[in-house]
């Protein structure tokens, strides 16, 4: 498909025990010959199950995979790992990402998302500067970020690569800061970087603290499904498999120093999302009453952004990317997966209670 999938490069993925990082590693293992190095601190939301599942079906792929338990705030250990791994490509996904948690304890997000990114950039820069000219030219540092750095939209408009930054939460402020650091390391030191800003991801294996897995988990327990306010807040939903395809295209063919916005063309209000989940469960797990009767309004999140929407024209025109899955199709697949994996879901619900 592209040079990345045909090559034998050494690829480091930070945050590879996370939802999106794990999906990326699965794809790289199954569809390339690259050596994959997963670096993760194994926080409360970390989970290696989706990667380990690949090895159950194809044990030989373990030969191309290594795991390092490292916190990016540990600069000495991080530098040692970068030297040992000797990467050709770095996908940087490691981040604290839950807005509610950032409101309760912002310091964790500053340490992880800002200081951690700084440490990684410095280790990557020192590594890159020592490479041969050939490897130096092909080296890439791909920083995966969020559309939340752009703030909020009203009834109209979309985010694009030209949208000014206007973060509204400690989480989005920390991610905006990390974006600026990555850009600065490119312009100041010449580090060959790429940045992508994606909309809300969803799909199988997502930790049950985000809207869609929380709603499915609550509905399967016949428990109240929490909905902030009246559920009118709108997000541009992106199926994780479509996101991974975009990341593969950007790392292979993206223009160094560029940013690309990745959206799912799936704008839905929170209430609409919950209604669709309930309708699906009414069919495959019927109760004596419609599941939507479980939807319960709760106190709204402080500073809750009203709407996000992405204009993905640049990545479509320049790299030919478009999402393959409609929101409804991907949501149906996602609900089916959680219904079939209730043990995994319950185990992670327990880990939230014990955190």
What is the spatial order of strands in the sheet that 35-40 belongs to? 65-69, 35-40, 10-14, 89-92, 140-146, 193-198, 259-262
The β-bridge partners of 225 are 295
Which residue is catalytic, options 147, 179, 209, 241?
147
CB 208 within 8 A of CB 345: yes
Verify whether residue 147 is a known catalytic residue: yes
Residues 6 or more apart whose CB falls under 8 angstroms from that of 63 comprise: none
> What gap in Å lies between CA 112 and CA 94, rounded to an integer?
8
What is the spatial order of strands in the sheet that 234-239 belongs to? 200-202, 234-239, 267-269
Q: Quick one: tokens of 42?
A: 């194994």
CB 237 within 8 A of CB 245: no
Verify whether residue 236 is a known catalytic residue: no
Helix (H) or strand (E) holding 256: none
Verify whether residue 37 is a known catalytic residue: no
Give the distance, in angstroms, between the CA of residue 106 and the centroid of all CA atoms in the same chain: 19
Placement of tokens 């979309």 in the chain? 158
For residue 321, the SS3 value is coil
Which residue is catalytic, options 65, 171, 260, 271?
171
> What gap in Å lies between CA 170 and CA 163, rounded to an integer?
19
Q: Quick one: tokens of 341?
A: 């994996």
**In Å, how far are 79, 223, 266, 353 from 101, measured between CA atoms?**
29, 22, 26, 14
Which residue is catalytic, options 71, 88, 122, 148?
148
Q: 3-state DSSP helix/strand/coil percent for the chain, to nearest 5?
A: 50, 15, 30
> What gap in Å lies between CA 317 and CA 136, rounded to an integer?
28
User: Mind telling me the catalytic residues?
Assistant: 147-148, 171
């Amino acid at each position: 498909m592209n040079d990345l999938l045909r090559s034998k490069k050494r690829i480091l993925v930070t945050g590879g025990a996370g939802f999106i990082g794990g999906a990326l590693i699965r794809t790289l293992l199954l569809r390339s010959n690259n050596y994959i190095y997963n670096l993760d601190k194994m926080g409360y939301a970390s989970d290696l199950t989706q990667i380990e599942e690949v090895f159950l079906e194809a044990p030989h792929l373990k030969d191309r995979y290594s795991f390092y338990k490292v916190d990016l705030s540990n600069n000495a250990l991080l530098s040692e790992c970068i030297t040992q791994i000797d990467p050709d490509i770095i996908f940087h996904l490691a981040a604290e990402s839950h807005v509610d948690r950032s409101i309760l304890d912002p310091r964790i997000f500053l340490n992880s998302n800002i200081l951690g990114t700084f440490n990684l950039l410095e280790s990557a820069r020192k590594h890159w500067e020592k490479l041969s000219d050939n490897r130096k030219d092909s080296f890439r540092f791909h920083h995966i970020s969020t559309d939340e750095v752009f703030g909020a939209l009203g009834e109209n408009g979309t985010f694009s690569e030209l949208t000014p930054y206007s973060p509204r939460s400690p989480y989005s402020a920390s991610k905006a800061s990390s974006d600026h650091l990555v850009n600065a390391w490119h312009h100041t030191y010449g580090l060959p970087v790429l940045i992508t800003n994606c909309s809300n991801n969803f799909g199988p294996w997502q930790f049950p603290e985000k809207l869609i897995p929380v709603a499915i988990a609550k509905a399967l327990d016949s428990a109240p499904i929490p909905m902030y306010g009246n559920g009118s807040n709108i997000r541009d939903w992106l199926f994780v498999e479509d996101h991974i395809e975009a990341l593969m295209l950007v790392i292979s063919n993206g223009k160094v120093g560029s940013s690309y916005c990745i959206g799912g063309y799936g704008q839905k209000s929170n209430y609409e999302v919950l209604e669709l989940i309930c309708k699906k469960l009414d069919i495959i797990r019927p109760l004596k009453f419609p599941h939507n009767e479980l939807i319960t309004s709760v106190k709204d999140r402080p500073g809750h952004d009203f709407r996000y929407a992405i204009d993905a024209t640049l990545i479509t025109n320049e790299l030919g990317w478009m999402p393959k899955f409609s929101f409804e199709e991907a949501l149906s697949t996602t609900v089916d997966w959680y219904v079939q994996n209730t043990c995994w879901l319950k185990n992670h619900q327990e880990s939230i209670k014990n955190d």
